[in-house]
Amino acid sequence: MLKHFLTGLFTAGLLYTAVAQTTFPRNGVYDERTGLYAFTNATIIVDPQTTLQNATLLIRDGRIEAVGTSVSVPAGAVVADLKGKRIYPALIDINSDYGMPEVKVERRGFFAPPQLESNKKGAYYWNQAVQPENDASLLFKSIPAKADELRKLGFGVVLTHPHDGVVRGTGALVTLADDRENTLVLKPNVTAHYSFSKGSSGQTYPNSMMGSVALIRQAMYDADWYKRAGNKEQENLSLDALNRIRPLPAIFEANDKLGILRADKIGDEFGIQYIIASTGDEYQRIDEVKATGASLIVPLNYPQPYDVEDAWDADNVSLAELKHWEMAPMNAGRLAAANIPFALTTAGLKSKADFWGNLRKAIENGLSEQKALEALTTVPARLIRVDDQVGTLQKGRLANFIITSGNLFSADNVIFENWMRGKQYIVTNKDVADFRGSWNLTVGAQSNLKLNISGKSPDKPEYQIQADTVKITPKVTLSGDLISMQIQMDKKKPGTTRLTGYRTGTTMKGEGETPDGKVVTWSAVRTGDAPVSTSAVSATSTTTASTTAAMATSTTATVPGSTTATILYPFVGMGNAQKPKSETVMIRNATVWTNEKEGILTNADVFVTGGKISKVGKNLPVPADIKVLDGTGKHLTNGIIDEHSHIALLSVNEGSQSSTAEVRMSDVVNPEDINIYRQLAGGVTTSQLLHGSANAIGGQSAIVKLKWGESPEGMLIKGADGFIKFALGENVKQANWGDANRIRFPQTRMGVEQVYMDHFMRAKEYAKTWSTYNALNAKAKTTAIAPRRDIELDALAEILANKRFITCHSYVQSEINMLMKVADSLGFKVNTFTHILEGYKLADKMAKHGAGGSSFADWWAYKMEVHDAIPYNAALMHRQGVTVSINSDDAEMARRLNQEAAKTVEYGGIAEEDAWKMVTLNPAKLLHLDNRLGSIKVGKDADLVLWNAHPLAIYARPEITMIEGAIYFSLKDEDRKREQMQAERARLIQKMLTAKAGGASTTRPAPKRSRMWHCEDIEGVMVEGEEQRH
Amino acid sequence: MKKLLIPILTLAALTSYGQNPAPARPQTKTTALMSGTVHVGNGQVIPNGIVLFTNGVITNVVDGTIVKLNLSDVEVIDVSGKHVYPGFISPASTVGLQEVGAVRATVDKQEVGILNPNVRSLIAYNTDSEIIPTIRNNGVLLTQAMPQGGTISGSSSIMMADGWNWEDAVLKKDDGIWLNWPAYFTRDFNFDDFTTVVRKDEKRASAIEALRATFADAKAYAALSNQTPMNLKLESMRGLFSGKQNLYIRADYGKDIIDAVTFAKSVGVQKVVIVGGEEANRAVTFLKENNVPVILSGLHRLPNREDEDVDLPYRMPGILQKAGILVGLSYADEWWRTRNLPFLAGTASGFGITDREEALKLVTSNTAKILGIDNLAGTLEKGKQATLFVSSGDALDMRTNVIEQVFIQGRKVNLDDRHKRLYKTYKDKYEQK
């Protein structure tokens, strides 16, 4: 294994091995040739910066021996005169699966029993999705038809790898020739490959995006440990391989623009700068993508236009989809303009045949031809460190090149030949006899005929015979210089004259037969070029293009439609053209709910500057040039804080194992979820994005501000304490998951306690091991072996050290009591019980323990464990001294949390100010953020909502929602926003209609169901029926 | 055997734990609610009104500042400073048909099969459901027990939130048949990769043709009398063609609404109601022209599309009402949340219907008209049943919705419920300390 790998690393030199030597027995006589070819009089594009006119390319034994304008052709060379033609370096695709086995995805279905362990037998990693041991060169089997498809496009070599698993093993550089694999594999183990998709693995873990992230991270740490100690304990071929592939250029396949940021974050943790295979939507977040410093591998897969002929059906196409249709072809150009290095790939194309058409669209939309050529030659070669072999036509490089009729990027260009390591593949015969021209045709006695042969290239001639004013299209077959024609002289009369003959220079001669069987002689004399017809126009432009300077570096930056094609932050219809910014604002004369001892102030002013509340009082002086909001008759409050939310997430449950403390919701924050904006419209400014409740120990929370348009990182509250989701009850024991799910421990509440005890005891041991190690002095550390880093136990150890805090999904009193006892016995506190619908039964115990309660106002009856839920729960807990908040767990209800808080007034008679605190100050306390959120106090964040009425009234709605002084929602601006959206929509729909009329195939519009997450939803599942949730 | 025992025992434990209060006794004495703010339910409000009812029927509703009544031998209840409302009506409801969502044994809302017009919801209606007291305690006094599932789900009945058994509790039997309109867009859930695909339903046309045949047969059958042997399915559809029964069609998308109504008229159905109607705003002209009422699905939902106005669902009743369409509000399938129905009307008032009395109609008189019970319920008017309640404040706002007295057909209802009992139990526990 190791030997093979080393061979790979140092093959570079071995690539020079003479082709003549072979280990294979021969059936026949020795027939090795010099492979010496000279291509003369060509326009040679040596590399994207260098073009030589009238130059010669000399190759020998599959390598370039010389290139230049004064190369002398040695004796024994086969000479090809390429006058008027061009030679380009062959193209390179570094995200290919060419020759790899098909990835068969094991779909087990929801009702199949879970596969908890790996099905890959052998001394491998515990998880089937981690396969660093896979080696593309071992898996590679050439597929001539697929090679031919890529050759025709101009590709010479590809980097291929198995697209299977989160760690996928190594890629191999292979040529697209038809030959034994021994000569096709140029270099094994060129790159290491990663992704977020578990591929063929049917193992339950991971079943979420954040699980994939955690699995990669843990595998990396395990490999570290294996290197320093683990290899003495066990043989693990996967970890061994992971260590070996680590120095290689690493390619991470991301699933969208956010995936680029996510992948890069993993890379940062391990000091790896991934090259990231992206999906074509990077233009939507170009600043953040650039900030990663990653080079990209960019596809050219553009969406089809939608069929928008039916106005109602067209409503199902979102503005974001319409815009993406328009802007996807601008992606590459915008990346180039932003100086983000990228290679282009054919991956992601529905049909490889779309490649050139789509690339030309990219060029029409702002990508320069030079950048395009770089992205297909020098950049990919450099990224995977094979630029000493391929990518340019410099001396010593492999003889991988293509011969074209003209500018490679021109629509009229024809690729004639694709040479691979000095071996010729004919794509289009360049040596077709050129019959094109205007000919005087004489058939027997008839001499008034004019034969016009036109067409954009010699191999695609078009024929027309003109007899006086009559135009006849003959049927013609060419073979070399032989020609045969069938002519129906009179359209009205049946009867075909058949002619056969040959061409010599500018004359044709032959014999034929008239319809009545008479043998006649015929001849034709070329009189000049064919007259300009429609098709001849394009032929002319080809000629013009090829006579101008070879590489068009002059492609202008003006993009068609670029003035109207604007980015939105986020890229959603309701996004903003500019991200909102903090302003200096005075809110005057409002009823201000301070949540402080001052209570509710009437006719008060609040001054906001630098994102903070800087003054609260009456008749404050108003500085000049600031924004003033009139609060007369209105109520000003803090922004609502939702302690339990699952919006703005790409997935919610890593429900595969009883503990997944290692997963982080911060890895899956989705800033494009429209529910962010909808909740701003309901006055929410901060949400705790929780893992689901599918397991006893869930994942780590992400606490975000609803800064619509920011990046995932930009939404996270910096410096906030870390939280983690725990869960109890029916979901954890899979009570409502059907009969197939009776395997995972625990299946009872008894087992749940043991899961906690077991994990915490291990975490305690783990923490002790580390503290012992960390206590060693520097010298001792050099000889001691560091323990294995376990990111699951890290999180649990943080809980034990009071550095991470629990929010526990809970309903029934027995188990709530249990968790408090577990915590007491280990010396930590349960920070918050969420849902906590039976909290009222043990509110005294909760208060004593110090746990808060974050509850629904009035939910019950959807499952057995909520049968005793009562709407008086909040009131009873509150009166026992529990810090109570009201949460949503629901994207819709979060828009009305003010109303849910008001229910505590109805049920249990909570004072209105206290009721209001249940959705503001109290959740801030539960999240340890009350030092900066939750009340209107000088120095706190200016997260404010201006309501049109008493905020607890059902008739109230926010008019302004502000986060840190930036206005993220303004009721007044809604109409303007709507008009802009409509105008943009109308423009794009008209454009789409034109595209359809122009013959583009279209996609049928269908409504999208955006994923609404609740506690119980597994990746991708929208569990039908309310009773299955929460 | 063991498996079977567990649910039985569980159920036994439940019933013994919480007992709903006994149904109320019939009204024996004429009652007068004096000096309250009377919300008639038809848009009118009488600030200092008197509501008089005898034997379960309203005998007079008058302005107390103008009319003086002889109140001898009348039980006078002073409700000054309080509000009197007609009982709220929750159409398209599964209250009484399901108890605990995740416990299959307690769910009776959906029969198997495609065409079940003969299935009757009132048979499964459980008057002992612990949900019922919780909804009447927020003013929801009538529900329409609605069957679900298949294409034709069955027939619904209008139930009162009080009664010893379904015969007692029913206000109107078999008021209509429920049809799930084959949707223009269908959702396919793929259990293999957990994805949902929404696409145009290619089989829709044939599904509609099959329905057309069923309705044609039913109509022909309706012309016969005393058919033996009786065809239960066709027999149950008779009322659709005579106008005795509504055809409730669940449809949301604009095209579906238009298709569904056109279909119903073409097959001879007399009264059509659109239920759901999430995109009824696209078909207002059509609905108005055809005089078709709409029962909207729960307003407290998200917009259907990313680009829709964030408050479109909240504004929908206002949009339809303004166009002259008769609109009622439902809590759809959220049976255990039905007590929040009044707040849907409150929301409609916060978003478009500025006159709160107009918003009130969405859960009272409008719904009564749509369900065909406006001769019995929906307003506080002479001759209607005395199904009404007294709230200390605005009943459409949770901040002030505190129901103090409830009368169903004049019977004074005990306002105890499971939640209040548990509240009291634990309040007492903590106060003992």
Q: What is the DSSP string of A207-276?
A: -SHHHHHHHHHHHHHHHHHIIIIIHHH---HHHHHHHHHTTS-EEEE-SSHHHHHHHHHHHHHHT---EE
Beta bridge partner(s), residue A688: A703
| pLDDT tens figures, A779-828 | 999 889 999 999 999 999 999 999 999 999 999 999 999 999 999 999 99
Q: What is the pLDDT of residue A1003?
A: 84
The answer to whether the Cβ–Cβ distance between A681 and B311 falls below 8 Å is: yes
Give me the helices (H) in A548-696, please: 674-680
> CATH assignment of B88-375?
3.20.20.140
As for how many domains chain A has, the answer is 4
CATH number for the domain spanning A837: value is 3.20.20.140
Q: Are residues A707 and A838 in the same domain?
A: yes
Cβ under 8 Å to A: B residues 92-111: 99-103
Q: Give the one of B187, B350, B402 whose C-beta lies nearest to A906's C-beta.
A: B402
In which residue are the tokens 């559809």 written? B237
Q: What percent of chain B has pLDDT over 90?
A: 85
Q: Are residues A721 and A861 in the same domain?
A: yes
Q: Are residues A505 and A516 in the same domain?
A: yes
In which residue are the tokens 């779309």 written? A354
| pLDDT tens figures, A115-153 | 899 999 999 999 999 999 999 999 999 999 999 999 999
Chain A partners of B194 at a C-beta cutoff of 8 Å?
Answer: 110, 1018-1021
CA A417 to chain centre: 34
CA distance A947 to A970: 11
Give how far Cα A328 sits from Cα of A281, A284, A323, A571, A990, Å. Answer: 7, 9, 8, 13, 18
Chain B partners of A957 at a C-beta cutoff of 8 Å?
Answer: 311, 350-351
Q: Are residues A726 and A875 in the same domain?
A: yes
Lowest mean pLDDT among A172-186, A201-215, A358-372, A465-479: A465-479
Q: Quick check: B330 contacting A, CB < 8 Å?
A: no
The answer to whether the Cβ–Cβ distance between A876 and B426 falls below 8 Å is: yes
Chain B partners of A319 at a C-beta cutoff of 8 Å?
Answer: 307
The answer to whether the Cβ–Cβ distance between B398 and A860 falls below 8 Å is: no
In which residue are the tokens 């190594």 written? A170
Q: Quick check: B11 contacting A, CB < 8 Å?
A: no
Question: Sorting pLDDT into bands at 50, 70 and 90, what band is A557?
Answer: very low
In which residue are the tokens 């089937």 written? A128
The answer to whether the Cβ–Cβ distance between B306 and A312 falls below 8 Å is: no
Does residue A1015 form part of some domain? no
Q: What is the pLDDT of residue B9?
A: 40
Does residue A912 form part of some domain? yes
Q: Quick check: B88 contacting A, CB < 8 Å?
A: no
Quick check: B194 pLDDT over 90? no
- Boundary-marking domain end, from A887, A906, A930: A930
Chain A partners of B334 at a C-beta cutoff of 8 Å?
Answer: 1026
Quick check: B18 pLDDT over 50? yes
Q: Closest approach of chain A CAs to the CA of B332, in angstroms?
A: 12
CA angle A606, A612, A618 (to 5 degrees): 15
Quick check: A565 pLDDT over 80? yes
CATH number for the domain spanning A942: value is 2.30.40.10
Domain, as residue range, for A395: 36-90+391-432
B117, with CB counted inside 10 A (0-12, 13-18, 19+), is: buried
Cβ under 8 Å to A: B residues 219-248: none
Give how far Cα B358 sits from Cα of B77, B319, B381, B386, Å. Answer: 27, 13, 16, 21
- Boundary-marking domain end, from A903, A930, A957: A930
A724 or A315: whose pLDDT is higher? A724
Q: What is the pLDDT of residue B192?
A: 53
Q: What is the DSSP string of A181-222?
A: HHHHEEEEEEEEEEES--TT---SS--SHHHHHHHHHHHHHH
Q: What is the DSSP string of A111-125?
A: TSPP--S----SS--
Q: Are residues A938 and A925 in the same domain?
A: no
C-beta separation of A697 from A808 below 8 A = no
CA distance B28 to B53: 11
Does residue A45 form part of some domain? yes
Q: Are residues A842 and A921 in the same domain?
A: yes
Chain B partners of A846 at a C-beta cutoff of 8 Å?
Answer: none
Chain B partners of A646 at a C-beta cutoff of 8 Å?
Answer: none
Q: Are residues A904 and A943 in the same domain?
A: no
| pLDDT tens figures, B224-260 | 998 889 999 999 999 999 999 999 999 999 999 999 9
| Residues contacting residue A233 through CB under 8 Å, at least 6 positions apart | none
C-beta separation of A709 from A570 below 8 A = yes
Q: What is the pLDDT of residue A766?
A: 98
Helix (H) or strand (E) holding A714: helix A712-715
The answer to whether the Cβ–Cβ distance between B101 and A1026 falls below 8 Å is: yes
Mean pLDDT of A56-65: 96
- Domains B20-86+378-433 and B88-375 are alike in CATH topology: no
Chain A partners of B349 at a C-beta cutoff of 8 Å?
Answer: 954-955
Lowest mean pLDDT among A703-707, A844-848, B72-76, B151-155: B72-76
Q: Quick check: B3 contacting A, CB < 8 Å?
A: no
CATH number for the domain spanning A529: value is 2.40.128
The answer to whether the Cβ–Cβ distance between A675 and B302 falls below 8 Å is: yes
Mean pLDDT of A147-173: 97
The answer to whether the Cβ–Cβ distance between A858 and B306 falls below 8 Å is: no
Cβ under 8 Å to A: B residues 264-293: 282
Question: Sorting pLDDT into bands at 50, 70 and 90, what band is B351?
Answer: very high
Start-to-end CA distance of chain B, whole Å, equals: 45
The answer to whether the Cβ–Cβ distance between A863 and B102 falls below 8 Å is: yes
Cβ under 8 Å to A: B residues 358-417: 396-402
Chain B partners of A978 at a C-beta cutoff of 8 Å?
Answer: 309
Question: Sorting pLDDT into bands at 50, 70 and 90, what band is A28?
Answer: confident
C-beta separation of B43 from B357 below 8 A = yes
For B20-86+378-433, the fitting CATH number among 2.60.120.10, 3.30.1330.10, 2.30.40.10, 1.10.760.10 is 2.30.40.10
| pLDDT tens figures, A863-919 | 999 999 999 999 999 999 999 999 999 999 999 999 999 999 999 999 999 999 999
* Buried/exposed A273-286: b ≥16 CB within 10 Å, e otherwise: ebbbbbbbbbbbbb
Mean of per-residue pLDDT scores for chain A: 91
Structure tokens that stand for A110 in this block: 């929801």
Structure tokens that stand for A421 in this block: 């390591």
Q: Are residues A838 and A962 in the same domain?
A: no
- From the list A165, A168, A106, the residue with the least C-alpha distance to A136 is A168
> Residue ranges of the domains in chain B?
20-86+378-433, 88-375
Phi, psi of B253 (to 5 degrees): -75, 145
| pLDDT tens figures, A355-378 | 999 999 999 999 999 999 999 999
Predicted model pTM: 0.91
> What is the phi-psi region of residue A102: left when phi exceeds 0, alpha when psi lies from -120 to 50, beta otherwise?
beta
Lowest mean pLDDT among A350-364, A554-568, A755-769, A802-816: A554-568
- From the list A669, A710, A660, the residue with the least C-alpha distance to A688 is A669
Quick check: A307 pLDDT over 60? yes
Does residue A110 form part of some domain? no
CA angle B349, B350, B356 (to 5 degrees): 30
Does residue A277 form part of some domain? no
Q: Closest approach of chain B CAs to the CA of A198, in angstroms?
A: 13
The answer to whether the Cβ–Cβ distance between B306 and A843 falls below 8 Å is: no
Quick check: A543 pLDDT over 60? no
Q: What is the pLDDT of residue A97?
A: 97
Q: Closest approach of chain B CAs to the CA of A202, in angstroms?
A: 11
- From the list B114, B108, B49, B121, the residue with the least C-alpha distance to B81 is B49
Q: Are residues A531 and A401 in the same domain?
A: no
Q: Are residues A667 and A715 in the same domain?
A: yes
The answer to whether the Cβ–Cβ distance between A315 and B430 falls below 8 Å is: no
Q: Closest approach of chain B CAs to the CA of A423, in angstroms?
A: 45
For residue A1025, which amino acid is it?
G
Pick among B256, B397, B398 to test the A interface (most A CBs inside 10 A):
B398
Does residue A497 form part of some domain? yes
Chain B partners of A1010 at a C-beta cutoff of 8 Å?
Answer: 306
Q: What is the pLDDT of residue A1011?
A: 52
Q: Give the one of B192, B309, B419 whose C-beta lies nearest to A978's C-beta.
A: B309
The answer to whether the Cβ–Cβ distance between B195 and A953 falls below 8 Å is: no
CA B154 to chain centre: 16
| pLDDT tens figures, A588-622 | 999 999 999 999 999 999 999 999 999 999 999 99
